[in-house]
Amino acid sequence: MADEKTSKPWAGRFQKAADPALESFSSSVHFDRRLWRQDLRGSVAHARMLAKQGILDESEAETLVRGLERVGRELADGTLELDPAAEDIHMNVERRLYTLVGDVAGKLHSGRSRNDQVATDLALWMRDEIPRLRRVLLDLRSVLVERATGEVDVILPGYTHLQRAQPVRLAHHWLAHFEALSRDDSRLRDARARISHSPLGAGALAGTTLPLDRDATALELGFEAPARNSLDAISSRDAALELLSNTAILMIHLSRICEELVLWNSSEFGFVEMDDSFSTGSSLMPQKKNPDVAELVRGKSGRVVGDLVSLLVTMKGLPLAYNRDMQEDKEPLFDAVETACACLEVLSGTIRTLRVNRQAMAAAAADPMLLATDLAEHLVEARVPFREAHEVVGRIVAHALDAGAPLSALSRDTLTGFHPALDIDPATFFSAERSLEARSLVGGPARKAVDAALREAQRLIETTREELGATGDPA
């Protein structure tokens, strides 16, 4: 029977049927089914190439293409029920093709192995999914720029060691996260550019004796060229590892944003309040409003890092060429991309709708202790060696703490008593706004520097939007 033949293409070698436990254990159709679009694209390109090379008649190729298109429609509308006994999406497609077009379906696999078929499908899937991931990442980057544009005048403490350090603009803080996410976008773009060579035609590991035109199928599928080495083409998974690595780094960046949101949303900070639409309550305590979105994204970062580690460990001891261990490449990859997309989408909404408590941020940034470094740098401008200046200001800080007074309450005479170059007016010197405007170097928090950073961020947003285009598929 055709169905039996196509569900087990190696059946001629074996005298016994596979044990049901093995069939269930080895089946991958429950997760590789999401490759069906890429699988059909590769098969259509392969069929057309076989006809051009005289391996199939034109009529046979046309029959195969029409059959594959029918299978695609059935998969799209959900009328084709996939059979786990057929092991994977590739054999499910071929089994259905036999039913639709008869024995000519058996010619489709001429010159092709499931090894190069799977590698091609996975490469196509990654090329399709990276633009989708970049689009949702673009949304979050745009939200950060929108918030920064509207919050240039909001001042808060910058932190090191989770201790108040120096005042910064909230716009500067949002743009710091924008920069990290922009590097993530750059890594994703570069990763897609490296998925540029088609594995199709590499066969099981050593190509085929049939006169295939690998250049033709590569170009039809959107690759730059065929893979240069058949062994490497079917056994490498570094593109998947690179995408997983990029996604893991992205999730770490999202986790850091979320950690800040959790802290800022707490009563102890009170810097922000999550919108009701992106918060949850407590099943016991009616007063609670929890930042669950930020906590979940923070938690899911560990899941994606685990996806990366999973495939790294799977691949680390495999000899060339294909090994069945490599079936384990898809689930972590699919999971990481879907998880990252979901996290980006929900975090965009969370940040877009959150309320900033400007007064609480300003009050925290008004602590004169945050300007101790400014005192030291004032001494440096007066030609005092920095190490000496640091020691002098340290003694001033200790004096203020012992007196229970803020630095701004110290008199001019008190300051000059520690060093004559500190002949300043404390009332004007200990101003967060003055301090910020003095930090006008490129990359600093002064308004001029932040305005320039915003213009560059807007340029990067527009460049990415144009690159992705309406379809999200870079050229």
Whether 111 has a pLDDT exceeding 80, the answer reads yes
What percentage of the chain reaches a pLDDT higher than 70?
A: 95
When pLDDT is cut at 50, 70 and 90, the band that residue 298 belongs to is very high
* Structure-block tokens of residue 457: 């961020």
Domains of the chain with bracketed CATH: 2-110 (1.10.275.10), 115-364+454-468 (1.20.200.10), 367-438 (1.10.40.30)
pLDDT of residue 473: 54
Mean pLDDT of 216-237: 97
Name the CA radius of gyration of the chain, rounded. 30
Whether 6 has a pLDDT exceeding 60, the answer reads no
pLDDT of residue 178: 98
Among 63, 73, 152, 135, which residue's Cα sits nearest to residue 446? 152
Whether 10 has a pLDDT exceeding 60, the answer reads no
pLDDT of residue 207: 96
Whether 4 has a pLDDT exceeding 60, the answer reads no
pLDDT of residue 87: 85
pLDDT of residue 26: 73
Contact predicate 347/139, CB 8 Å: no
Mean pLDDT of 136-153: 98
When pLDDT is cut at 50, 70 and 90, the band that residue 2 belongs to is very low
Strand locations in 221-333, DSSP E?
A: 225-226, 272-273
Q: What is the pLDDT of residues 326-366, one digit of tens each?
A: 999 999 999 999 999 999 999 999 999 999 999 999 999 99
pLDDT of residue 261: 97
Q: Which of 24, 26, 59, 282 is an active site residue?
A: 282
Q: Which of 90, 161, 182, 378 is an active site residue?
A: 161
Residue 26 annotated as catalytic: no
pLDDT of residue 471: 44
| Count of beta carbons in the 10 Å neighbourhood of residue 3 | 14
Phi/psi for 221 (5° steps) reads -90, 0
Let me know if 275 is exposed, middle or buried by CB neighbors in 10 A (0-12, 13-18, 19+). Answer: middle
Helices marked H in 270-329: 292-315
Among 36, 126, 50, which residue's Cα sits nearest to residue 86? 36
Between CA 440 and CA 451 the distance in angstroms is: 11
Q: What is the pLDDT of residues 204-221, one digit of tens each?
A: 999 999 999 999 999 999
